[in-house]
Structures are given as structure tokens and as C-alpha cells.
Amino acid sequence: MTSINENLTALVVESRTELGIRRAADALGVNAQTLVDSRMVQSAIGALDVQQIEDLDSAIAEAIKPVIEGDPQHFGIAPAPQAPPETAQPAAEGHRQWTADDVRNASPAETIAAMKGGLLSDLGVGARRKRR
């Protein structure tokens, strides 16, 4: 009889653990199946005494956070978007590079002067080369 009780206890613990992992995945916004299948997650949870913990979901979430933070892309978390580089950079003369808005708001003469001065190089229009 004890082996049947031990087997049932093991099944209950395994079921509670998997349910806790899936709930933690929902709370943390990660792929639940990847968490369930991860050996690193299983070993992080293996250190917990599942039968003695009252709030198993919170304990599992806390145990697997470091694993997720170690490799977020593996668990379905997209990398944080990087900020685009600033377009207004000072040129050699000390003037900043023009933006597309600057070009739209400038007169044709001002735009040509900016082209000659090399202020549109960030927009793909370099200064004219001098002829020899």
C-alpha cells in the first residue's frame, strides 16, 4: 500500500508543480510549454519542498525568474527595443545635421546651401566635391 500512496503523492506533486509553472508563465508573460520542458526550470523548482509550501505558485514564480532573466529570448520574451540614434549630430563646422523636417520647412536656396555645407549627409546627400 505504501508504494501506491507514494506514487499518488508523487503524481500530485508533479501535477501541482506543472500547474504552478503554467500559472507562473502566465503571470510572467512567457511560453508555458518551454518552461515546463526546460531542465533549468525543473532543477530550480527541484530545490523547493513542494509539499511544505502554502503559496506554491508564488514560490515557483520566484524560483524560475532568474532562469528566465538569464535567457529571455529562449522563453519567448522579445528583446527590448533599442532607441534609434539621434539624427542631429554636430558637423565639423559646429552646425547640426538637418532632419527631413528641416528640409521640408526650408526654402530651396537654404536647402542648397545646407547641401553645399554638408548638413544633409545624414539624409544621404553629401557635400558636393570640388572640381580640380
pLDDT, tens digit, 9 for 90 and up, residues 31-64: 888 888 888 888 888 888 777 788 888 888 888 8
Same domain, yes or no: 66 and 92: no
pLDDT, tens digit, 9 for 90 and up, residues 4-34: 877 777 787 788 888 888 888 888 888 888 8
81 domain residue, yes or no: no
Q: What share of the chain is helix, strand, coil (3-state, %, to 5)?
A: 55, 0, 40
122, 87 Cβ separation under 8 angstroms: yes
Nearest CA to 60 among 70, 74, 46, 71?
Answer: 46
pLDDT, tens digit, 9 for 90 and up, residues 63-119: 888 888 888 877 777 666 666 555 544 444 557 888 888 888 888 888 888 888 888
State the residue range of the domain holding 26.
2-70
Same domain, yes or no: 11 and 61: yes
Q: What DSSP assignment string belongs to 5-68?
A: HHHHHHHHHHHHHHHHHHHHHHHHTS-HHHHHH-HHHHHHHHTS-TTT-SSHHHHHHHHHHHHH
115, 127 Cβ separation under 8 angstroms: yes
79 domain residue, yes or no: no
pLDDT, tens digit, 9 for 90 and up, residues 108-129: 888 888 888 888 887 777 766 6
**Beta pairing partners, 123:** none
Instruction: Compute φ and ψ for 87, nearest 5 degrees.
Output: -90, -25
End-to-end CA distance of the chain: 101
Same domain, yes or no: 92 and 65: no
Same domain, yes or no: 92 and 62: no
82 domain residue, yes or no: no
97, 85 Cβ separation under 8 angstroms: no
State which of 70, 98, 121 marks the end of a domain.
70
115 domain residue, yes or no: yes
Same domain, yes or no: 60 and 96: no
Same domain, yes or no: 35 and 66: yes
76 domain residue, yes or no: no
State which of 70, 102, 117 marks the end of a domain.
70
Domain count, the chain: 2
Dist. CA 60–CA 31, nearest whole Å: 15
